[in-house]
Structure 1
């Protein structure tokens, strides 16, 4: 049985245990203080940390502020304690825009009245950092990479510009307001806003008003600009296309990062960085911009600097496109010929053999009609309907009835006003398509089963989405709601929609003899996050067969030799195939006439094209001359 301890022995043991318990408690408190410290430092703060000098928190916040955009993890070893004092080793690991900056420091701790406190010293933030030093981060990008066209021909390259603005060092403070307003007037910007910017800037500042491409000064700057006190022009370069309007919607713009871009960048973009603001420049910004070289320095009150860390950057990598600068320029020139007040228009060209997009040209208005403007395609869609009929067993010599009008569920469909009387009545399938007979196509609607029109569209590349590495769509062929809409769908009306890119893809598929998926990005070294997947446009369930494409080419050729596009017959070189299209939209005028979209699609050798004019007379009359001008040049 156990023997009871004597009172004296119990007291002796207790006397031994009490110091051990106190020691353990001190260790726990010191470790807790270290844990609080590392948790706070990982959040760029000393808030919530028990400090021997509470003022150290504000000093730390000021010193660490330049590193606020960089994530950091801080861990600690066990506290080395001697009595009521201790030290702890801190292990810092910063993520500096993808670079790891790792180092170790130490800080002291001490036992306070109720808890252990941190005796913070700036050297615990960075090796040998002193109280009088500040941290500075400098970033310098290399040259932004260009955008290349077919054959690596530069499209976007560094081109000279002038930065027009106010140099505050050249005038007195009293002159700033008046000069700023005169400068704003000379370059066409808001005088009040520019004056406010100039007056709030420092006395050594250059306050930029506008950036102008070299050679365009007369269009944007008053001739007496340099006579204004303080007005200067700073020469510079920017990555620009050959002209202001060259593929503007596609290529996009470059400029200073907006607050929204900085916020969304997860630290990779900072205020003042030059970034892509729209189009491909924005989509592929990381590739084109490259990465900056970064220097982190400790700077003393005497401006003496010492390097804490350095990281090498990398120049941007060029983006290669399939775009052909000559064809793009020609297409833009052709649509520009419609005039500044002309309706929206577009020309898209594709190389059928490869699916490469050679031109995405938009007319007046600044809208991206070429790749995102969805409109009823009118009779150009009869190429899709023709494929559905061919698959249903129709041959080009089959006889169809082409009356002047045809009623479907109480709605009367008619042919266009100038439809030739010689092509009315019983005509071949070939003649009906060549002359664009609405009633013949609608009259054959019962041959086409549910879903077969959409399947034919998919076989010709007219899929809902196009992944070009750039926002684009091709078209949509929804299931019709009712017999009247089913009839209208066959002639490209109803709820059928297509973009010029979509209809150019249809023509390219016919020219190639297989389903074409348009391709714009030619780079093998493109950023994986932005580059389209190789099979982004999935092959349709029923790909276009060579014999089907051959029949459709014969129909397109008949449009030129005997139908509604005979004006293209004299174009030299390989035979031209085409299809005209007119689509009514909107509300009728007082005479019952609807406004009309004008379309043309065509092939000429290894070139397929679609032309669209938002408001015209007919496909042949309005869009036809534009296609003719293009094919005469290429």
Structure 2
């Protein structure tokens, strides 16, 4: 039991023991600290001048700090013990200086000292019981200056989240006004909750926001009687939902707030990602960095660069009087929040929005990627609505079809096959038992022995395959790497770099020559190839500056020469002048292009591609299921390059 003596003064017998008989005060101080740690004062003698229960006070005062520190017990130790050396109290009074340490998250650590006053209690006259040390209990033994009745309040001060900037350094993802719309169950009777939920769901669906009314009504029913059950959070300036009608619907609540958002709801959504209240999974995996209620990155760049964007929270510890709301809290400890640092991207807002607009009516998964060859900046990386939220632009894995013939042409040139070298373009060709043919609409006028430039312009499959004994699989691998396909580089965001297998059977090698079989590329990859052709050297694209260093294998050196790139530009120019990309002939600054169609599945469907160079712009357009590169991707490329 805790021995308590109430009253300001201890009545201490002065006879019985000599100084040498007094037990060690150090042991008494250690026992008191042990009690502070465990929360149990059994066996520790305390005296005080109030009737408050020490164990209750200890729990109530320290609980906010224990919660903030995520600790089961306080970190408190005896720093030093000083015994009175002179006067009547010599050897009978002592001060134990206690050191407290509270890790409050991040690098916020509150360390302080408090004093515990100990007094030696003499044994009763003629008693067999020894004397003992008694500790004065008062609130300031827990926290310096804490007054009776005061309690602690620990507040986590949120930092200002950093913006994501566009290529011009202007805010791209920044704090914008939003409206949280949902059912406030306190504003309607229980009998009205279901009808209100369904009416609100209908308003959302009328505005183009797909909502399952049954599921939402069930969610409302399960929530507490005083709950606010969110349905949607919308932009205040363009809410989609009829907010006026929502406000007039009984039981519906509209709460104004703010959130980090891009210029539009679709702007590079799959890449930028989103932020919001931290999930349990994120909290668990953060090693204490993220707490419940924190706003954190949930996907995309917002999640990848969350530490930079979030900054670090501040901590404010105050002493408050629960019985006196009029008194201002008294600050005891404060660590200022460190605001997040903005993230610089290379996005060109106008080009990104144009790319998304061009793809808006494409129902299949689709993408447009635009790179500035002179700098490597990724200006646009748009995935269409048919991608259903997936990042087709940077992470799609598809056979590149005849756009890969640009790589062929580089490998051919290194084997002495020039644009004017004649090669056979036959209706079909068979390699190791596998038959290949040209697209059905291939012009008969371009069959026969034709120069490479004509084979590239009209995309003759059989002509490229005819050189399978001249150009080896490794030649294609090397040429692809020299143009950037399959080569990792610090882009700053997750991308698929592409892959050309180095091992191949004769038939697989033949298929590789027309960009099929096991070869894979992303729209990003093919835009990079076009950029490298335009720049005359392998371009290493960047989307985030400064980009995170690549964690790649050894990166092969590119052997691409300016002369080789010039030849490739000429060949791509011929595709526009009199070949399959003639749709681009009126594009200002057009340099060249290459179309591509890649069959997949059972061979009845095809991916369609087009890559192009126009001025200081290299672009890839991809549609997962289309007709031909010239007829499906071509018009999209034209619309993007001309803005019409």
Asked whether the two chains share a fold, i.e. TM above 0.5, the reply is yes
Verify: 1:88 aligned to 2:96, yes or no: yes
Pick aligned residue for 1:558 from 570, 574, 599: 574
How many residue pairs end up in the alignment? 589
**1: distance between equivalents of 2:199 and 2:464?**
65
Pick aligned residue for 2:225 from 188, 196, 199: 199
CA RMSD in angstroms, aligned pairs only: 3.5
Shift of 1:169: 6.3
Partner SS for 1:333: helix
**2: distance between equivalents of 1:197 and 1:408?**
66
**1: distance between equivalents of 2:544 and 2:276?**
23
Pick aligned residue for 1:384 from 399, 404, 407: 407
Verify: 1:127 aligned to 2:123, yes or no: no
Partner SS for 2:308: helix
Shift of 1:86: 6.2
Decide whether the 8 Å contact of 2:31 with 2:44 is kept in 1: no
Shift of 1:252: 1.2
Shift of 1:235: 2.6
**1: distance between equivalents of 2:175 and 2:30?**
57
Residue 65 to residue 196, structure 1, CA distance change in 2 (3 Å) = farther
Pick aligned residue for 1:270 from 269, 287, 291: 291
Shift of 1:570: 2.2
**2: distance between equivalents of 1:86 and 1:452?**
86
Indicate the residue corresponding to 1:70 in structure 2.
Answer: 69
Indicate the residue corresponding to 1:99 in structure 2.
Answer: 108
Shift of 1:389: 1.8
Indicate the residue corresponding to 1:504 in structure 2.
Answer: 527
Indicate the residue corresponding to 1:153 in structure 2.
Answer: 170
Decide whether the 8 Å contact of 2:369 with 2:620 is kept in 1: yes
Indicate the residue corresponding to 2:621 in structure 1.
Answer: 611
**1: distance between equivalents of 2:101 and 2:555?**
48
Q: Which consecutive residues of structure 2, in runs of 5 or more, have no partner in the other structure?
A: 1-18, 47-52, 85-90, 122-128, 205-210
Indicate the residue corresponding to 1:4 in structure 2.
Answer: none
Shift of 1:35: 8.1
Indicate the residue corresponding to 1:3 in structure 2.
Answer: none
Q: Which consecutive residues of structure 1, in runs of 5 or more, have no partner in the other structure?
A: 1-18, 524-530, 589-593
Partner SS for 1:508: helix
Shift of 1:519: 0.5
**1: distance between equivalents of 2:610 and 2:43?**
77
Decide whether the 8 Å contact of 1:351 with 1:357 is kept in 2: yes
**1: distance between equivalents of 2:96 and 2:478?**
71
**1: distance between equivalents of 2:42 and 2:578?**
88
**2: distance between equivalents of 1:353 and 1:74?**
61
Indicate the residue corresponding to 2:349 in structure 1.
Answer: 325
Shift of 1:493: 0.8
Deviations 1:295-328 (A, max 9, x none): 1112222244221112222333332211101110
Decide whether the 8 Å contact of 1:34 with 1:79 is kept in 2: no
Deviations 1:473-494 (A, max 9, x none): 1211122331111111121111
Residue 221 to residue 197, structure 1, CA distance change in 2 (3 Å) = farther
Indicate the residue corresponding to 1:545 in structure 2.
Answer: 561
Residue 443 to residue 182, structure 1, CA distance change in 2 (3 Å) = closer
Partner SS for 1:135: strand
**2: distance between equivalents of 1:555 and 1:58?**
85
Decide whether the 8 Å contact of 2:157 with 2:314 is kept in 1: yes
Shift of 1:59: 5.5
Shift of 1:601: 0.5
**2: distance between equivalents of 1:84 and 1:263?**
51
Pick aligned residue for 2:270 from 246, 249, 252: 249
Residue 400 to residue 120, structure 1, CA distance change in 2 (3 Å) = farther
Indicate the residue corresponding to 1:632 in structure 2.
Answer: 642
Mean alpha-carbon deviation: is it higher for 251-260 or for 342-351? 251-260
Using structure 1 for the length normalisation, give the TM-score. 0.83
Shift of 1:131: 6.3
Verify: 1:361 aligned to 2:385, yes or no: no
Verify: 1:424 aligned to 2:447, yes or no: yes
Residue 227 to residue 403, structure 1, CA distance change in 2 (3 Å) = same
Shift of 1:63: 3.5
Decide whether the 8 Å contact of 2:356 with 2:383 is kept in 1: yes
Indicate the residue corresponding to 1:14 in structure 2.
Answer: none
Partner SS for 2:557: coil
Deviations 1:369-402 (A, max 9, x none): 0000110111111111221222233222212122
Q: Give runs of aligned pairs for residues 59-458 of structure 1, distance below 5 A.
A: 60-67=58-65, 68-70=67-69, 74-80=76-82, 87-96=95-104, 97-107=106-116, 122-129=139-146, 132-167=149-184, 183=200, 187=204, 188=211, 190-199=216-225, 201=227, 208-217=230-239, 219-221=240-242, 224-302=245-323, 303=325, 304=327, 305-338=329-362, 342-364=363-385, 365-449=388-472, 451-458=474-481
